[in-house]
């Protein structure tokens, strides 16, 4: 559990995250380039005295998560897109994590509302000794009441210092568990709603990585990447941040790092039925009443 001093850092990080998300929402409009949005989000965090806890995720339509634009990405927001903005800032390793869906397609406004309402219903349950299963019940019941499916193999998660996906997992579907929340625990709740199959799969694309462990490598660019990745203390980093200017060299270096089990790939996640996906997320300190760090 977090100490009072740690909780204050978590609240500061959450405040920065919330302020940046608020500003980022005005950047997202048809014709805007994803790369420009992501780079501005990350710059705003640094301007406010924080660092990105992970690369800005800007996932469109049936892509549920883990899309951050690579170098020279020309993707722009289209008139009928649904875009998930999933961002996090950290201060000294203590992070806020939040997400919102912006919907330019009126046919999916109700789905966007479903994930947001599910988030709010789950937050109400975030008190000491609350059953984790009550959060999951609230999420699934709310999303299905709107006529959509929760994404069953994506979850919320605990947050610890320099550890974004700590225990417990917070399922988006009803789950039998005796786990109870503890006072001053920090968790991220992130419901995903879809009109598809209700599950995601990994795509071949990977633009986000995490250092698992140092490794003996022969490739000089692989060594350069390992040295660069140390600064993140186990937090994820973007491919576009890496100090390798050639895509061919980068692929060769990454292949060796994967073979050495030195890095973890955060593959882009797609809805298996091709359905549209909406997402909402907040970071919550378990107290009575709950404290939402990422809400302005």
Instruction: Exactly one of 190, 221, 256, 271 is catalytic; name it.
Output: 190
Instruction: Exactly one of 66, 81, 125, 157 is catalytic; name it.
Output: 157
What is the distance between the alpha carbons of residues 178 and 160, in angstroms, rounded to a whole number? 21
Confirm whether 163 is a catalytic residue: no
Give every CB contact of residue 18 below 8 A, 6+ residues apart in sequence: 96, 98, 293, 294, 295, 296
Q: Is 170 left (phi over 0), alpha (psi -120 to 50) or beta?
A: beta
Instruction: Exactly one of 39, 73, 92, 165 is catalytic; name it.
Output: 165
Confirm whether 36 is a catalytic residue: no
The pair of structure tokens assigned to 16 is 């920065």
Spatial contact of 10 and 285, defined as CB atoms under 8 Å apart: yes
Confirm whether 86 is a catalytic residue: yes
Instruction: Exactly one of 51, 97, 239, 256 is catalytic; name it.
Output: 97
Instruction: Exactly one of 42, 81, 86, 134 is catalytic; name it.
Output: 86
Confirm whether 281 is a catalytic residue: yes
Confirm whether 66 is a catalytic residue: no
Residue with tokens 């289209």: 78
What is the distance between the alpha carbons of residues 156 and 190, in angstroms, rounded to a whole number? 5
Nearest by Cα to 118 from 102, 141, 86, 98: 141
Q: Is 14 left (phi over 0), alpha (psi -120 to 50) or beta?
A: alpha
Nearest by Cα to 137 from 167, 164, 174, 104: 174
Spatial contact of 281 and 203, defined as CB atoms under 8 Å apart: no
Spatial contact of 58 and 40, defined as CB atoms under 8 Å apart: no
Is the previous residue joined to 70 through a cis bond, with omega within 30 degrees of 0? no
What is the distance between the alpha carbons of residues 103 and 35, in angstroms, rounded to a whole number? 19
DSSP class per residue in 217-263: ---HHHHHHHHHHGGGTT--EEGGGSS---HHHHHHHHHHHHHTT-E
Confirm whether 97 is a catalytic residue: yes
- Which residue numbers are catalytic? 86, 97, 157, 165, 190, 281
């Amino acid at each position: 559990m977090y100490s009072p001093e740690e909780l204050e850092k978590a609240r500061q990080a959450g405040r920065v995250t919330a302020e940046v998300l608020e500003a980022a929402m005005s950047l997202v409009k048809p014709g805007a380039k994803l790369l420009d949005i992501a780079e501005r989000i990350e710059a705003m965090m640094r301007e406010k005295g924080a660092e990105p806890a992970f690369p800005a995720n800007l996932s469109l339509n049936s892509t549920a998560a883990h899309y951050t634009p690579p170098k020279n990405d020309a993707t722009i927001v289209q008139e009928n897109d649904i875009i998930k903005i999933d961002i996090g800032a950290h201060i000294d390793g203590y992070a806020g994590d939040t997400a919102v869906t912006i919907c330019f397609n009126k046919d999916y406004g109700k789905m966007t509302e479903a994930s947001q309402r599910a988030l709010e219903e789950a937050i109400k349950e975030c008190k000491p000794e609350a059953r984790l299963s009550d959060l999951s019940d609230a999420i699934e019941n709310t999303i299905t009441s709107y006529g959509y499916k929760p994404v069953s193999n994506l979850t919320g998660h605990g947050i610890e210092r320099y550890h974004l996906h700590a225990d417990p997992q917070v399922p988006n579907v009803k789950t039998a568990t005796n786990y109870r929340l503890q006072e001053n625990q920090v968790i991220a709740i992130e419901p995903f709603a879809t009109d598809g199959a209700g599950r995601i799969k990994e795509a071949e694309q990977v633009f986000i990585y995490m250092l698992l462990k140092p490794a003996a490598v022969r490739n000089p660019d692989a060594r350069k990447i390992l040295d660069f990745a140390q600064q993140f203390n186990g937090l994820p980093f973007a491919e576009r941040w890496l100090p390798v200017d050639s895509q061919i060299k980068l692929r060769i270096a990454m292949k060796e790092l994967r073979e050495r089990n030195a890095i973890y790939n955060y593959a882009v996640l797609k809805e298996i039925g091709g359905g549209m996906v909406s997402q909402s997320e907040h970071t919550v300190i378990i107290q009575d009443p709950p404290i939402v760090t990422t809400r302005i």
